[in-house]
Amino acid sequence: MSEYVIEIPNWQPTTLNRLLGGHWAKAARKKKSDARMVWAYAASAQVPKATCKRSLQLTIILAKRQRAPDPDAHFKSGCDALVRCGLLTDDNRQGVELLPIRYERSERKGTRIVLKDLP
C-alpha cells in the first residue's frame, strides 16, 4: 500500500458553514481556491493521481486560541478539492474511506492530508 502526505502550511479547507452561508457562486469560488491550493502542494509532493480507492486522513492544525470546528466541517471542500485534482477517484464510498479527523495545536494553522491506496 502506498501512502502520500501533503503538508499545507497556513491553510485549512473552507468549512461547510462558510460554503452554505451565501450565494452558490461564492461557495464555488472558495472550493475552486481550495482545489488550487491542494493541487499546488500535491504537485510539489509528487502525489500521483488516484487509480483505486484511497483512505483519507485529515489533520487540521489549529493555531493558538483557534477553536476547533465541527468534526465534519472540513470534509466537503477537502474531498471535493482532492477529486478535482484527481487525487481521489470520487468522494463516494467506492472512491474514499474517510478516517476520523484529527486536530493538533501549533504556532500556526495548517493542514496535513494523508492518502493511502487501498486494495
Asked if residue 114 has pLDDT above 80, the reply is: yes
- Say how many residues make up the chain: 119
Residue range 25-53: average pLDDT?
Answer: 96
Average pLDDT over residues 90-98: 95
d(CA 61, CA 86): 24
Q: What is the pLDDT of residue 72?
A: 86
d(CA 112, CA 119): 23
Whether 1 shows a pLDDT value over 80: the answer reads no
The mean pLDDT of 6-28, rounded to a whole number, is 92
Its pTM stands at: 0.92
φ, ψ for residue 38, nearest 5 deg? -60, -45
Record the cell numbers describing residue 104, joined without a space: 493538533
The SS3 call for residue 45 is: coil
Give residue 63's pLDDT band: very low, low, confident or very high (50, 70, 90): very high
